[in-house]
Amino acid sequence: AQKITQTQPGMFVQEKEAVTLDCTYDTSDPSYGLFWYKQPSSGEMIFLIYQGSYDQQNATEGRYSLNFQKARKSANLVISASQLGDSAMYFCAMRVHHQAGTALIFGKGTTLSVSS
Amino acid sequence: GAVVSQHPSWVICKSGTSVKIECRSLDFQATTMFWYRQFPKQSLMLMATSNEGSKATYEQGVEKDKFLINHASLTLSTLTVTSAHPEDSSFYICSARHPESSYNSPLHFGNGTRLTVT
């Protein structure tokens, strides 16, 4: 079964510190894509970073980086130098083959709280 | 960048009435749109995949007669919650795939609709 697991319901970090949000996945597809989205309290989904299953290097986008460990089936998001505006819910997602083509399935999310 | 507009952003309706939510791709033609449902502080659950000009594909456990999806044009998909009940109160969010997107392209999401049924 294809599944995304986020085991941290909430994480707390101080400004300027780094934080790692955990994500593990399960799929039998040899080709898959992993995404991280940020959802502020307003509700919109903001795309942060992508990692492909065949990518040799870990993805990075500004303060966001992805610690991809394929053998462990984990794709943890690392946010460096946290800012107050980083407080939000963070979702790990996987693109999977689906009855109607491909679709994104999401983990349960992690609520990140950044304090000053 | 690609923009997906969702309307309304919030709606309150009485039990037994129907509510229509619109999802528009503003600057691209989306052959495929997705509808998700999210309860407070919980994950996004895929409800259905909407393909332009054909019937929507619903996920297991989603009542197709209750959640009517229409994708009549390449820029518009609608979700109608029929005979709404308080348990249908939720955050509904749509997303669209750009036709030129590759496997590693993210989906573009609308800003969501918060439905409250009284």
B89 has pLDDT over 90: yes
B2 has pLDDT over 70: no
3-state secondary structure of A6: coil
Average confidence (pLDDT) over B9-13? 97
Q: Cβ of A107 and B57 within 8 Å?
A: no
pLDDT at position A102 is: 81
What is the C-alpha to C-alpha distance for residues B19 and A101, in angstroms, rounded to an integer?
A: 28
Cβ-based contacts of B45 with chain A (< 8 Å): 106
A58 contacts: CB under 8 Å, gap ≥ 6: A51, A65, A66, A67, A68
SS3 letters across chain B: CCCEEEECCEEEECCCCCEEEEEEECCCCCCEEEEEEECCCCCEEEEEEEECCCCCEECCCCCCCCEEEEEEECCEEEEEECCCCHHHCEEEEEEEECCCCCCCCCCEECCCEEEEEC
B97 → chain A, closest CA residue: A103
What is the C-alpha to C-alpha distance for residues A90 and A20, in angstroms, rounded to an integer?
A: 11
Peptide bond before B8: cis, by omega within 30 degrees of 0?
A: yes
Q: How many CB pairs under 8 A join A and B?
A: 58
Q: Cβ of A43 and B104 within 8 Å?
A: no
B1 has pLDDT over 70: no
From A50, A105, A109, residue closest to B104, measured CB to CB: A50
Average confidence (pLDDT) over B65-73? 92
Question: Closest Cα of chain A to B85: distance in Å?
Answer: 22
Average confidence (pLDDT) over B33-50? 93
Phi/psi for A84 (5° steps) reads: -55, -35
Task: Show pLDDT as tens, one digit a residue, over chain A (116 residues).
Answer: 789 999 999 999 999 999 999 999 999 888 899 999 999 999 999 999 999 999 989 999 999 999 999 999 999 999 999 999 999 999 999 998 777 778 899 999 999 999 99
- Residue A64 has what DSSP assignment? E
- Residue A83 has what DSSP assignment? -
Interface of B with A in 1-60 (CB under 8 A): 32, 34, 41-46, 49, 51, 57
Cβ-based contacts of B32 with chain A (< 8 Å): 100-101
Residue A48's CB is within 10 A of a number of other CB atoms, namely 20
Sign of CA dihedral B44, B61, B49, B8: negative
Average confidence (pLDDT) over B34-46? 93
